[in-house]
Structure 1
Amino acid sequence: MKGHASGLQRPAAGGELARVLRSIERFALAPASAAPLAALRIGLAAVLLLQAALVAPALFELYGRSGILQGTLRDVFARTELPRIGWAVALLAPLGVGEDPVILGTGVIYVVALAALLIGWRTRAAAVLAWLTHLMLMATADSTVYGVDSFANIFLFYLLWMPSAAAFSMDRRLGRVRGGPTPAARLGLRVVQLHLSIAYLASGLGKAASAPWWDGEAIWRSVMLPEYRQFDLSWLADAPWLAAIAGWTVLLVEIGYGFLIWPRRTRLPWVVATVALHAGIALFMGLVVFGAIMAVLTVAAFAVGSEPPGPAAQAGAAPG
């Protein structure tokens, strides 16, 4: 009887495993529209072009050896293990090409690549050039880099292999790429969604382990430090409870992100809360590029529809 009972249980266990594997396959590979990835491509390229316009007047001061960090001092702060402008200067020096043309050329290539990425023209090549030149600029002026630059570079790298040109692109219009739902689009979207969920959770838990985020001191410092101060908010000293509530709200949005942005019922409120959080950072701290990029990532990943049209297609598609 024991052998007979165990024999009956094995198919049930195997059936459960098969159901789990099918669920994982649907989650990761059910055909999806490339619209969210196209929104990511367009939004990221647009914000980086804005950043490039802001940086352009100080191009040589930031990246030249006679700029803000001069000579060997710049090399000390540079990420020497990554490709940087100094490598290109050394490579082209035998041809009589100086540093200034290399810096200018790198900047021009970067901007042209971002513009091509924006409209989806030769999208894969544009993504490669945008990612590589962005990486070179980051590595050369590492002392000016902060978290959003790393985020931007990571998501530019994702665009190297994601089918972001399959929607809203010149490549699609010209017939260079096919449209329609694909497993690759679903996989790319899941990578973006999981990356953001883990990043927000890690950020929120890191903040939660620090007392200043509970008593409002972190908010107070953020809006009062000279390098970030945009408005006179000194009156917060008379209402410390308001700064504390703001800190709790940040913790709630970031820690809850990975749990409450996935279910359909709470997705839209959490997208709105996250965008509002980054709009607040841009407004009250002046970190416009940071706020814009993080808002673009969340909107593209969770607010742009990914399900193929038609009830038959949607019946077998994974949620989100």
Structure 2
Amino acid sequence: MNISRKTIASKIQSFFFQEDNTKGTFIAFFRIGTSVFILIHLLSIILDFTKLFGKYGIIPYDIREFILPEEMVSFTQIITFFEGYGIPESITITSLLTVFILSVIALMIGFCTRFSALTTLILYKSIYAGTYIYGIDGFVVTSLFYLVIFPSGYYLSVDNIIFKKRSRKNLNATLFKRLLQINVCLVYFFAGISKATGITWWNGEAMWKSINLWSANNVFNFDFTWLAENSYILIVLGWGVLAIEILYPVFIWSKKTRKFWLMGTLLMHIGIGVLLELYFFAAFMMFWNITAFYIDKPIDLKQLVTGFTFSKPKTKTTISQSVPLEA
């Protein structure tokens, strides 16, 4: 019994604290990717920002405030606070957006990383508080929280250049990667269990309703009427979604099945993005999957800047071995 306990304890310790094969650069990928996503998402709505999140926007602020917890400071509350000192809403929005964008950029390049992550987290939460954007706000908030507690500024960052004496020899990023991986597994598992408790994902009804939503399939306008007479396809697709999500924690850990299950998950989100037009949700979930389970080696900084490059094999060439170009 003592031997088995030691073996179990050894495996647990190895699982959480073995040396990270990515040398921690997955954290840099996670930090940069999250920042880029936030910026792109913000720029996509920047022209309508006041209408969406202003005090007198499309959705009245008192309705948004109604569903917020009392301890949460919302964007409209900040606007109201400064209005009490004679500062108009437009100036407050412009100022806060400027600070928000600068904090995201600072997080992206890894400058004052933890402070930038915390500032971005607070402002992001206050801006999107009371606004439902299909759950993607929750995943972004979780990512920013991780960037606050992760050693985010230790890899491919300005902080790492400034603090040259800061050593990473004793810093093991495996625990941080495991936290993200376990989080992803729990998300899919409980999402699948939640779907499985109802009948609509078993009989294809959920798939049919999803592709026929008023907000879905407006860009490509695919004709899905033929599926009404071939409902078995909807049933198979529904079962496929359930299998991918519920069995995700089982097959994603094995090296033999990881690529297959990861590819299936990515294809599922591509379908969600294309058919349901939930582009940001699909893209960010794909980003989480790639960060957690695809990156398994150090990231080359040159590849992040210049893209993928193919290096030619180095061979020693002598004059006698050289071949004329005309040959």
CA distance in 2, matches of 1:273, 1:116: 35
User: Which residue of structure 2 aligns with residue 225 of structure 1?
Assistant: 213
CA distance in 2, matches of 1:180, 1:119: 22
Structure 1, 31-40 or 148-157: larger mean CA deviation: 31-40
The SS at the match of 2:107 is helix
User: Which residue of structure 2 aligns with residue 111 of structure 1?
Assistant: 101
Structure 1 residues 71 and 265: CA distance shift in structure 2, 3 A:
closer
The one-letter amino acid of 1:70's match is P
**Normalized against structure 1, the TM-score is what?**
0.84
> Can you list the C-alpha shifts for 1:184-240, whole angstroms capped at 9, x where unaligned?
x11111111111111100001111222111121111111111112332322221321
User: Which residue of structure 2 aligns with residue 213 of structure 1?
Assistant: 201
CA distance in 2, matches of 1:146, 1:106: 24
Q: Do 1:35 and 1:164's aligned partners in 2 also have CA atoms closer than 8 Å?
A: no
1:119 Cα deviation (Å)?
2.3
1:93 Cα deviation (Å)?
3.9
1:266 Cα deviation (Å)?
0.9
Q: Does 1:150 align with 2:141?
A: no
CA distance in 2, matches of 1:42, 1:251: 31
The one-letter amino acid of 2:95's match is G
The structure with higher relative contact order (CA 8 Å, sep 6+) is 1
1:24 Cα deviation (Å)?
1.5
Q: Could you say what the CA RMSD is over the residues aligned between the two structures, in angstroms? A: 2.2
Q: Do 2:74 and 2:126's aligned partners in 1 also have CA atoms closer than 8 Å?
A: yes
The SS at the match of 1:102 is helix
The SS at the match of 2:148 is coil
Q: Does 1:70 align with 2:88?
A: no
Structure 1 residues 274 and 75: CA distance shift in structure 2, 3 A:
same
Using the aligned pairs only, state the percent identity: 26
Q: Does 1:159 align with 2:147?
A: yes
Q: Do 2:134 and 2:281's aligned partners in 1 also have CA atoms closer than 8 Å?
A: no
Q: Do 1:34 and 1:164's aligned partners in 2 also have CA atoms closer than 8 Å?
A: no
User: Which residue of structure 2 aligns with residue 186 of structure 1?
Assistant: 174
The one-letter amino acid of 1:299's match is I
CA distance in 2, matches of 1:254, 1:202: 8
Q: Do 1:35 and 1:305's aligned partners in 2 also have CA atoms closer than 8 Å?
A: no
Q: Do 1:198 and 1:258's aligned partners in 2 also have CA atoms closer than 8 Å?
A: yes
Q: Does 1:236 align with 2:227?
A: yes
Structure 1 residues 80 and 264: CA distance shift in structure 2, 3 A:
same
Structure 1 residues 71 and 246: CA distance shift in structure 2, 3 A:
closer
1:306 Cα deviation (Å)?
5.6
> Can you list the C-alpha shifts for 1:278-308, whole angstroms capped at 9, x where unaligned?
1111111110100011000010000111689
Structure 1 residues 178 and 52: CA distance shift in structure 2, 3 A:
farther
Structure 1 residues 275 and 165: CA distance shift in structure 2, 3 A:
farther
User: Which residue of structure 1 aligns with residue 320 of structure 2?
Assistant: none
Structure 2 stretches lacking a partner, 5+ long:
300-327
User: Which residue of structure 2 aligns with residue 278 of structure 1?
Assistant: 269
Q: Do 2:26 and 2:298's aligned partners in 1 also have CA atoms closer than 8 Å?
A: no
User: Which residue of structure 2 aligns with residue 9 of structure 1?
Assistant: none
Q: Does 1:253 align with 2:244?
A: yes
1:274 Cα deviation (Å)?
1.1
User: Which residue of structure 1 aligns with residue 4 of structure 2?
Assistant: 16
Residues 281-300 of structure 1 mapped to structure 2, 5 A cutoff: 281-300=272-291
> Can you list the C-alpha shifts for 1:240-295, whole angstroms capped at 9, x where unaligned?
12222211111111111111001111111111111111111111111010001100
1:178 Cα deviation (Å)?
4.3
Residue 18 of structure 2, aligned match among 30, 35, 49 = 30
1:80 Cα deviation (Å)?
4.0
Structure 1 residues 298 and 71: CA distance shift in structure 2, 3 A:
closer
| Matched residue count | 293
**Normalized against structure 2, the TM-score is what?**
0.82
The one-letter amino acid of 1:256's match is L
The SS at the match of 1:144 is coil
CA distance in 2, matches of 1:252, 1:67: 42
The SS at the match of 1:213 is coil
Q: Do 1:172 and 1:178's aligned partners in 2 also have CA atoms closer than 8 Å?
A: no
> Can you list the C-alpha shifts for 1:18-44, whole angstroms capped at 9, x where unaligned?
332222222112232212222221222
Residue 292 of structure 2, aligned match among 271, 278, 301 = 301
Structure with a larger share of its residues in helix: 1
Q: Do 1:61 and 1:68's aligned partners in 2 also have CA atoms closer than 8 Å?
A: yes
User: Which residue of structure 1 aligns with residue 258 of structure 2?
Assistant: 267
